[in-house]
Structure 1
Amino acid sequence: MTDRLTIALAQLNPTVGNITANIDRIRNARAEAAARGADLVVCPELVVTGYPPEDLVMKPFFLDLVEKAVRGLAEETADGGPAVLVGTPWRDGGKRYNAALLLDGGKVAATRFKVDLPNYGVFDEKRVFAAGPMPGPINFRGVRLGVPICEDIWSADVVETLAESGAEILIVPNGSPYEVGKHDQRIQLSVERVTESGLPLIYVNQVGGQDELVFDGASFALGADRKLVAQAPSFTEHLMLTHWQRGADDVWTCAEAERIAPAGDLESIYSALVLGLRDYVTKNRFPGVILGLSGGIDSALSAAIAVDALGAERVHGVMMPSPYTSQESLDDAAESAELLGCKLDTIPIVPAMEAFERMLLPAFAGRDPDITEENIQSRSRGITLMALSNKFGAMVLSTGNKSEMSVGYATLYGDMCGGYAVLKDVYKTTVYDVSRWRNESIPVGALGPAGRVVPERVLVKAPTAELKPNQTDQDTLPPYEVLDDILECLVEKDLGVPEIVARGHAPEVVNKVWRMLHLAEYKRRQAPPGPKITRRIFNRERRYPITNGFTSIA
């Protein structure tokens, strides 16, 4: 039995399905931890496959490769170096489990299976995994380690069982996606488990982007006295060592360790968007991105995020003016590109508009221009961007925000064209807030320039699609501060009209927004993925029937 342990928290960024690369990441973390004197390296949930692996784990040949890779890594621990606690899918008794395996002494020394499988929001684990039995502690060099896996600490039962069966330290591997305020929620939840059990707790979270999820890391440790004793940085891979000692009362305490304060809300939102885009582009092996730079706030912020994520040389902006494009917009798009140092081409869509007008003239005879002609402009731009993407290989970055996605202010095969929508879960008011923050700050790891990256005029002029003369968004929408508050009530909180009206909104406006939200469901089903930052992202967490007679909430 030992009275001292050095435990390394390996906050890693795996790629879903890339078993070889993920094992290499674990191996490299173990080598670094060994050089720094660690006894145990703790990795995130399902790190071997990346999280969430979804239906990959239903393929037996995939699980064959997982098992072979894990057993090969286990053999390497015969070298006398640190043990490794890895998260991986694992088969046992004909069932698939979300497992934590202790690799030590050249073998798989212990297995524990996740008990509480989440099946809400972005999670779908009950469909692909079996629930494990209540676990007992793992005996590691004379220390009894309790290993609840992620959701297992969101209620008291698993930790209570571990405490009652003699666990001394709780170690929690996690695949917990980012959303605003989530870090505080994790800390509070962990404090509850420490309070109930009297045990210190180590929380190791994945980092990185995976389709619509961004994992922020921010791993930490709490003492048995509920004090935060270690805190890893957010949104970056990191190996953090913690040094533990058994006290005279048999309670383990952690010596002073790293404590890096988490970012504030605006910084964390921006960092999540950057990381989500960077990993989507890089892990899918795109050479870069191409986007329409309109001179508006959404495209200006999208371009800034892209440059910070990928570097200016991998970002290609395109201004596509129509007869309604103002000189201000032309100038603002040019300033955006200049501030960021990225390429900007100008390709007018007037020839395409004229060609469609001539082509459709017989069919449209006797009918006045309307939204049809406006949509043709958007679609001409979409075709242009997709043509450039097809020719040069860069991914089209869609620039629509959550407010527009909510109420249908997005054109299918037009401004919704693209492989990734970086602002998909960002309301318009937040777009402005984050843009102002970025003009005054630069996040760690950003590849773009310090200082102003969004032109000042873009932040103060009235938002407009410029699809007809003197058009602004507020011609047909409530002011964005009103719209976004109503949308948050409807989308995130499921509130009814009386509750929303009590916040100061007119009933007819609430019903109008609800109807627009309902009618745009079919568009959102065809939208590209984008990073989740709110409590409820469209499609993955909010699923409404398209054919739906519940059109009024009056």
Structure 2
Amino acid sequence: MKDGFIKVACITPKVRVADVTYNVKQIQEAMEASAKAGAMIVVFPELCITGYSCHDLFYQRTLLTQAKAGLLSLAKKTEDLSGIFFVGLPWEHQGKLYNVAAALCGGKVLGLVPKTYLPNYAEFYEARQFTPGMQEIVNVCLEGQETDIPLGTDQVFRCREIPELVIASEICEDLWTPCPPSGRHCLHGATLIANLSASDEVTGKNAYRKDLVAMTSARLYCAYLYASAGEGESTQDVVYSGHSLIAENGSILVESDLFATGMVLSEIDVYAIAAKRHMMSTYEMTDADYYETYFSLSLQETKLTRFVDKAPFVPSDEASLRRRCEEILDIQSMGLKKRLAHTGAKTAVIGISGGLDSTLALLVTVRAFDMLGLDRKGVIAVTMPGFGTTDRTYQNAVSMIKSLGATFREISIRDAVLQHFADIGQDAECHDVTYENGQARERTQILMDIANKEGGMVIGTGDMSELALGWATYNGDHMSMYGVNVSVPKTLVRYLVSYYATYLADEALADVLRDVLDTPVSPELLPPKDGVIAQKTEELVGPYELHDFFLYHLMRYGSEPKKIYRLAKYAFAEDYDEATILKWLHTFYRRFFAQQFKRSCLPDGPKVGTVSLSPRGDLRMPSDACAELWLEQIASLYK
């Protein structure tokens, strides 16, 4: 559990209405099965010990007495199981009946959480039998258990071994109200909400229920376990589908099929939940008077079954990807539109290499000009052939510029760079960093001076992945007057260009864009070999799909290197061996820390997603921070 994952389960057992003996046996067997599967937190449905649909049978003392005996039996069962279990039953207190969730762990009933909101509309009439739960905690006793049991809504259960794991409970209707108790619970520190439910099924309700659980976990930055009643409940007027859901921070990790019994399993990441709360200054914790009960778990490494996306910046389904691409292009274009209008720039100057990043920047720039109703001829697209330029990239650049109706200019940098090398005493046959960066800075000088001459601004082309690695020449391609790609990761740049080619471009432009997509990523600063690109970025700094994965988990969740390594091994199991992943993880951290000075003075550019490296936005990082702690942890992962 050192990486924050803990296995959880929601279980819908078969029940018989009012048959406590049968129901307890089914719950016990399910508890054993969940423990065998490694689940540490297990949630059962509302009133599952008796069955939810007992109605006026809840008035019968025989049923109430047997329910308490069944609860004691289940509690004792947990002596042999490592985990905390939530089961539902009716509870009598001072002449009133309460619909409660009982937390069981270590052979004891740790607490009873009553339902706050009792539905008494449409097909529901719970207020006929039950009383709304009290917030103030009272102590009750259970014959057969020596210690008193807290009863009341305002209580949480804290794990001794994992301080970030704090569990609270609400019951069914509580979730569907304007002010669910879970909000209050989370503001007192709860990171996981256990909801014991008996939600009947009507057409369309399952989709709404799923959205409700997902959005609650998103709004509260928590894990949400929703276990619902199913087969065996009375179908006198309604039918129960057993729709169970496990959500975390807005994402549904797993859900059951409708009208199915059994168990759904996944793993929640309590460290990720805690990290999101750390970052939210408006997530204000309360000092409300809550009762806290501590419990212990026997922890072990949690085997992952949940989906780990190897392309977390890219939506996995086609429809969502199309929407995301259109949104991002709009954000980029609207940002540039505003800056052009505000500065009164007559032109936009952009260097076009025939690579992915400058292609996307050009597409965004002409889109911004279209929004402003400006002639695309005001986009001055400059190709600047150098020592590493290939015919393929050059032809693609020229074709693209002309197809988009921008103004084409070609300015070779060869003579100017050779003169510069002579001025500083650089051997033109020495292909070192000076040889490479001298070309990048010459290109930036040309663009800046053209912008001055034409009353325009230079549009930056570099993407967020390059900024994370510092793969940009300081005061070269690192500099511009507005960077439209500054928060777009490399893995997403590819999809944006592909989207444009598929849905927005004419046939001629689409052909060019597709060839750009097929071209290896390269700065083209070293001479080609036999006319082919010799300098391939991903051979030098590593695969961008790995670096984007590392960046996402570092920035979104503050994850440690060892956790990112574990997730990457899981996500890229079919793509890279462990040694390769570890090698590039080390490269990522080394470069990320060493290159912060380049990010500290970034030009303006629009934030388009949840991760940004802007020094004015998401990342206030000292330029001189040491990477030793992180690199030492990576070193410990080598076998």
Task: Provide Cα deviations, 1:511-531, integer angstroms capped at 9, x if missing partner.
Answer: 210110111100111221111
Task: Say yes or no: does 1:318 pair with 2:401.
Answer: no
Map 1:124-203 → 2, pairs under 5 A: 188=215
**Structure 1 residues 388 and 189, CA gap change in structure 2 (3 angstroms):** farther
Task: Say yes or no: does 1:340 pair with 2:404.
Answer: yes
- In the alignment, the residues of structure 1 paired with residue 558 and residue 542 of structure 2 have an alpha-carbon distance, to the nearest angstrom, of 20
Task: Provide Cα deviations, 1:116-148, integer angstroms capped at 9, x if missing partner.
Answer: xxxxxxxxxxxxxxxxxxxxxxxxxxxxxxxxx
**Structure 1 residues 262 and 432, CA gap change in structure 2 (3 angstroms):** closer
Task: Say yes or no: does 1:531 pair with 2:606.
Answer: yes
Map 1:91-110 → 2, pairs under 5 A: none
Map 1:347-496 → 2, pairs under 5 A: 347-361=411-425, 368-442=430-504, 452=509, 455-469=513-527, 470-496=534-560
- In the alignment, the residues of structure 2 paired with residue 376 and residue 485 of structure 1 have an alpha-carbon distance, to the nearest angstrom, of 31
Tell me which residue corresponds to 2:34: none
SS in 2 for 1:317: strand
Cα drift, residue 429 of structure 1: 0.8
**Structure 1 residues 192 and 374, CA gap change in structure 2 (3 angstroms):** closer
- In the alignment, the residues of structure 1 paired with residue 321 and residue 422 of structure 2 have an alpha-carbon distance, to the nearest angstrom, of 58
- In the alignment, the residues of structure 2 paired with residue 373 and residue 192 of structure 1 have an alpha-carbon distance, to the nearest angstrom, of 52
Query: Does structure 1 conserve the Cα–Cα contact (< 8 Å) formed by 2:353 and 2:394?
Result: yes
**Structure 1 residues 484 and 275, CA gap change in structure 2 (3 angstroms):** same
Larger deviation, residues 397-406 vs 485-494: 485-494
What residue identity is the alignment partner of 2:486? Answer: K
- In the alignment, the residues of structure 1 paired with residue 427 and residue 218 of structure 2 have an alpha-carbon distance, to the nearest angstrom, of 70
Structure 1 segments unaligned to the other structure (5+ residues): 1-154, 158-183, 194-260, 443-447
**Structure 1 residues 356 and 279, CA gap change in structure 2 (3 angstroms):** same
What residue identity is the alignment partner of 2:619? Answer: R
Tell me which residue corresponds to 1:501: 565
Query: Does structure 1 conserve the Cα–Cα contact (< 8 Å) formed by 2:322 and 2:499?
Result: no
The Cα RMSD (Å) is 3.3
Query: Does structure 2 conserve the Cα–Cα contact (< 8 Å) formed by 1:515 and 1:552?
Result: no
Cα drift, residue 451 of structure 1: 8.2
SS in 2 for 1:272: helix
- In the alignment, the residues of structure 2 paired with residue 461 and residue 330 of structure 1 have an alpha-carbon distance, to the nearest angstrom, of 12
Match for 2:618 among 518, 541, 544?
Answer: 541
SS in 2 for 1:433: helix
Query: Does structure 1 conserve the Cα–Cα contact (< 8 Å) formed by 2:357 and 2:462?
Result: yes
Query: Does structure 2 conserve the Cα–Cα contact (< 8 Å) formed by 1:406 and 1:517?
Result: yes
**Structure 1 residues 281 and 450, CA gap change in structure 2 (3 angstroms):** farther
Task: State the identity as a percent.
Answer: 26
**Structure 1 residues 355 and 494, CA gap change in structure 2 (3 angstroms):** same
Tell me which residue corresponds to 1:289: 348
Paired residues, number: 303
Query: Does structure 2 conserve the Cα–Cα contact (< 8 Å) formed by 1:490 and 1:514?
Result: no
Cα drift, residue 366 of structure 1: 12
- In the alignment, the residues of structure 2 paired with residue 366 and residue 384 of structure 1 have an alpha-carbon distance, to the nearest angstrom, of 20
Query: Does structure 1 conserve the Cα–Cα contact (< 8 Å) formed by 2:541 and 2:587?
Result: no
Task: Provide Cα deviations, 1:21-65, integer angstroms capped at 9, x if missing partner.
Answer: xxxxxxxxxxxxxxxxxxxxxxxxxxxxxxxxxxxxxxxxxxxxx
- In the alignment, the residues of structure 2 paired with residue 378 and residue 365 of structure 1 have an alpha-carbon distance, to the nearest angstrom, of 17
TM-score (norm 1): 0.50
Query: Does structure 2 conserve the Cα–Cα contact (< 8 Å) formed by 1:514 and 1:552?
Result: no
Query: Does structure 1 conserve the Cα–Cα contact (< 8 Å) formed by 2:522 and 2:535?
Result: yes
**Structure 1 residues 385 and 511, CA gap change in structure 2 (3 angstroms):** same
Map 1:237-276 → 2, pairs under 5 A: 264-276=323-335
Query: Does structure 1 conserve the Cα–Cα contact (< 8 Å) formed by 2:441 and 2:477?
Result: yes
SS in 2 for 1:547: coil
Query: Does structure 2 conserve the Cα–Cα contact (< 8 Å) formed by 1:332 and 1:458?
Result: yes
Tell me which residue corresponds to 2:150: none
- In the alignment, the residues of structure 2 paired with residue 321 and residue 262 of structure 1 have an alpha-carbon distance, to the nearest angstrom, of 35
- In the alignment, the residues of structure 2 paired with residue 366 and residue 412 of structure 1 have an alpha-carbon distance, to the nearest angstrom, of 21
- In the alignment, the residues of structure 2 paired with residue 374 and residue 494 of structure 1 have an alpha-carbon distance, to the nearest angstrom, of 34
Tell me which residue corresponds to 2:166: none
SS in 1 for 2:381: strand
SS in 2 for 1:396: strand
What residue identity is the alignment partner of 1:436? Answer: S
Query: Does structure 2 conserve the Cα–Cα contact (< 8 Å) formed by 1:291 and 1:385?
Result: yes
**Structure 1 residues 262 and 289, CA gap change in structure 2 (3 angstroms):** same
Larger deviation, residues 298-307 vs 267-276: 267-276
Structure 2 segments unaligned to the other structure (5+ residues): 1-181, 185-210, 221-319, 371-375, 528-533, 570-577, 634-639
- In the alignment, the residues of structure 1 paired with residue 438 and residue 427 of structure 2 have an alpha-carbon distance, to the nearest angstrom, of 17
SS in 2 for 1:345: strand
Tell me which residue corresponds to 2:597: 522
Cα drift, residue 549 of structure 1: 2.1
Query: Does structure 1 conserve the Cα–Cα contact (< 8 Å) formed by 2:421 and 2:427?
Result: no
What residue identity is the alignment partner of 2:548? Answer: D
Task: Say yes or no: does 1:278 pair with 2:311.
Answer: no
**Structure 1 residues 396 and 420, CA gap change in structure 2 (3 angstroms):** same
- In the alignment, the residues of structure 1 paired with residue 625 and residue 351 of structure 2 have an alpha-carbon distance, to the nearest angstrom, of 34
**Structure 1 residues 403 and 264, CA gap change in structure 2 (3 angstroms):** same
